[in-house]
Amino acid sequence: VEKAIKEKKKIVFTGHSSGGAIAILTTVWFLEHYLKPGKTLMSPFCVTFGSPLVGDFIFNHALIRENWSNFFLHFVMRYDIVPRILLASLSTVGQELDQILKLLSQKAMFPIQGSVREASTFYTSVMRNASAVASHAACRLMGNTNPILETVASFIELSPYRPCGTFVFLPGHGKLVVVKNADAILQLLFYSAQLCSENQLNAVAERSLNDHLGYPSELQGCLNWQNVVQLDHLEGLPLSSSGAAAGNIATNIALDDLGLSTRARLCLRAAGEHEKQKLSNQQRMDNKRQEIELGLAKLEEYKSKSALCKVGYYDAFRISKYEDDFKANVTRLELTGIWDEIIEMLNRYELPEPFESRKDWIVLATKYRRIVEPLDIANYYRHAKNEDTGSYMYKGRPRRYRYTQRWREHGLRMPVGSSAESCFWAEVEELVLLYRTADPGAFEVIRERTINLERKLDEWIRSNQISNDVFLKGSTFTKWWITLPIQHKSVSPIQGQIDREI
């Protein structure tokens, strides 16, 4: 790999069956290690054939978020059983699995004498499990609210494995059906392998093994990519073979080629609707950006005004004596509402996967965090919530700040917890509480933490991540800091800053 990179070549990782799984993992390793933001590097490509599933829905979510999903292309013959195996739990198919794997590794074409029964039993078990997984997923997609769904689901072992990347289904005769929507791919993995009638069972079971070995011959006929159908706009799929509008004919043929029943098409539609809904939610949030910017502008103004009074907006808000402070609180609460809604949607996977890595949102979120979190901290300590709940950082910090801090750290490849400039004041408050000048050796208790804090503060001030209103005469920080022992203060990096303000 190193050699190829040096020669500036494009690397393609590929494999068949379990080799495909290794190819996927290798590609991810490559992307994590070599593809750094800002570095120019040829993006890799990963092509698999009949590969089993590799990760769960979070794995898929992360791939899409990082914009790596497009590097993965998985070919699946219509009845090939291997990509479906991991939709079943080991306890239900374990018995037959060994034999089936042996049969497959022989790489001979079927029928092999006496294997039909094993193939049929195996096929039925895998399909039963796949049906449960697909139905459960479809119920969720369609917004089914019957609580018994989750109860029953907790009694069955549902496989956590999910597809990722782009899938290309091969229904036969040189045709190709390309699908990107992961929810749709899951449904297709189940529904395209269904029987048309029960007496097909043995034939299809045999085919489920044969197909796994049929990639070379099938793909020979597809190489010119003539008969390709992209399945998108899933929400408008024709529900029956005869119901297609003119523009949909190619799609309809593809759906028929995969033997998709009405129920299958409804599930695909649901997958399409879900994706559409995510995009529409994102649009709604994008429309709120302006509102957020306005709120932040108001608070910036509040901040500058407070600075003029030598108190700093943190302390002004902490005391909250005037109307301006009250108005600032209103703005703070309005912004809280918007951000909480975003976080809520993220938790329910109702926003598109790339949302958290969008640069414009990371920038806005960081701005929000830096301006507004200090006010949340001030509010927390003003009402002595630390006495009920514990310190702000330990128990009181809202998810909207924790998440947005992670967005920045992840986006800039910073160490976890390093972008903590917005919770500076929380540490100050805790140190103030711990430092009781009456006790001898009081400073020892907080020495290490204080040194750390000062060092970081220095850095943040220099990089303009924190403004120097923290050094104002009336600020909590200053008032505490000047009480520290002289030996410490004289060597402190921020000594100069304080002197300048006072």
Q: Which residues are catalytic?
A: 17, 80, 212
In DSSP terms, 175 is beta-bridged to 172
* Shortest reach from residue 85's CB to other proteins, in Å: 16
Q: Is the Cβ of residue 128 or residue 455 nearer to other proteins in the bound state?
A: 128
User: Taking a C-beta distance cutoff of 8 angstroms, is the pair 396, 285 a contact?
Assistant: no
* Shortest reach from residue 169's CB to other proteins, in Å: 15
Q: Rounded distance, CA 157 to CA 153, Å?
A: 7
* Shortest reach from residue 268's CB to other proteins, in Å: 10
Paired tokens of 185: 């791919």
Q: Is the Cβ of residue 252 or residue 419 nearer to other proteins in the bound state?
A: 252
Measured between alpha carbons, how far is residue 104 from residues 119, 302, 430, 495 in Å?
Answer: 11, 71, 64, 73
User: Taking a C-beta distance cutoff of 8 angstroms, is the pair 404, 369 a contact?
Assistant: yes
Q: Is the Cβ of residue 32 or residue 150 nearer to other proteins in the bound state?
A: 150
Q: Rounded distance, CA 109 to CA 90, Å?
A: 26
Q: Is the Cβ of residue 263 or residue 288 nearer to other proteins in the bound state?
A: 263
Q: Where are the beta strands (DSSP E) in 4-95?
A: 12-16, 45-49, 55-56, 72-77
Q: Is the Cβ of residue 259 or residue 352 nearer to other proteins in the bound state?
A: 259
Q: Is the Cβ of residue 151 or residue 464 nearer to other proteins in the bound state?
A: 151
Q: Is the Cβ of residue 193 or residue 375 nearer to other proteins in the bound state?
A: 193
- CA 134, chain centre distance (Å): 21
> What one-character DSSP code corresponds to residue 38?
T
* Shortest reach from residue 86's CB to other proteins, in Å: 18
Residue of 300, 366, 289, 364 lying closest to 331 (CA atoms): 300
Q: Is the Cβ of residue 197 or residue 290 nearer to other proteins in the bound state?
A: 197
Q: Which helix (H) or strand (E) holds 180?
A: none
Residue of 31, 21, 37 lying closest to 1 (CA atoms): 31
Residue 292: count other Cβ atoms within 10 Å of its Cβ.
Answer: 19
> Side chain identity at 423, as an amino acid letter?
C
* Shortest reach from residue 136's CB to other proteins, in Å: 12
* Shortest reach from residue 183's CB to other proteins, in Å: 15
Report the residue count for the chain: 502
* Shortest reach from residue 102's CB to other proteins, in Å: 25
- CA 428, chain centre distance (Å): 33
Q: Rounded distance, CA 121 to CA 115, Å?
A: 10
Residue of 73, 11, 71 lying closest to 41 (CA atoms): 11
Q: Rounded distance, CA 84 to CA 19, Å?
A: 16
Query: At 348, is the secondary structure helix, strand, or coil?
Result: coil
Residue-wise DSSP of 366-389: HHHHHHHHHHHHHHHHHTTHHHHH
* Shortest reach from residue 185's CB to other proteins, in Å: 18
Q: Who's near 275: CB < 8 A, 6+ residues apart?
A: 181, 183, 234, 235, 352
Paired tokens of 416: 């976890």
* Shortest reach from residue 139's CB to other proteins, in Å: 10
> What one-character DSSP code corresponds to residue 10?
P
Q: Is the Cβ of residue 155 or residue 225 nearer to other proteins in the bound state?
A: 155
Q: Rounded distance, CA 446 to CA 189, Å?
A: 59
**Site residues for other proteins per CB under 8 A:** 124, 127-128, 131, 142, 146-148, 150-152, 154-155, 191, 194-198, 201, 239-240, 242-243, 259-264, 266, 269-270, 273
